[in-house]
Amino acid sequence: MWKRLRLLEVLLGIGLVACFAIGSSGAEPVQGWSLWVLQPSRPGLLTACAVPKGRAWPMSAALTFPHAPLRLDEALTVHWQGGQFAQSAVPAAPVLPQEKSWNPLDSCFVLSVGGMVVAAGAVVPRHSARLLRSDTLVLQSDKLDQPLAFSLLPAFPAEIGQPVPPEWRQFLTPISKPLGSVSR
């Protein structure tokens, strides 16, 4: 009887470990980072896009945002002062066009690494006339025949050489390659 109880304990332990592993792997992709876009609280109000850095992400959209954030699963490249990081297209189930679309001219973004917010702010086209003093994801290319390309800047307008927040160096350097090493 004791052997059966011990076997049952071992099986339950293995089951719990498997459940925790499956649960934690669904929160963040295998690559360790994810890029999310969402609508601002009011259309055009991109100055209110910031999400506190260090907060767990993704968080419950129902509690915080009027519209659910959309994780960008397509091929994309993000350039920043310390290099660049890229994502290949993630094979996914077919999605209705209205669910997949997002407006790059009126969006907020959240970049998470290891399930924590590292950068968050507004998405703007590179020829924007907006003046933003928070994290900015500048859309460089959204052509249908090419992967999305962004520049991550600490403010807009700014140059890629402007000093960046220390948490960017801490979290983005390990996932980045030197500029020019990721094929477009």
Percent of the chain with pLDDT over 90: 27
Instruction: Report the alpha-carbon distance of residue 134 to residue 156 in Å, rounded.
Output: 8
**What is the average pLDDT score of the chain?**
75
Three-class secondary structure of residue 73 per DSSP: coil
Helix runs in the chain, H state only: 2-25, 61-64, 97-100, 166-172
Q: For the chain, state the CA radius of gyration.
A: 19
**pTM value?**
0.72
Work out the number of other CB atoms within 10 angstroms of the CB of residue 118.
Answer: 22
Confidence of residue 182 (pLDDT cuts 50, 70, 90): very low
| Cβ proximity of 57 and 51 under 8 Å | yes
- What's the pLDDT tens digit per position in 75-118? 899 999 889 999 987 655 554 444 446 777 779 999 999 999 99
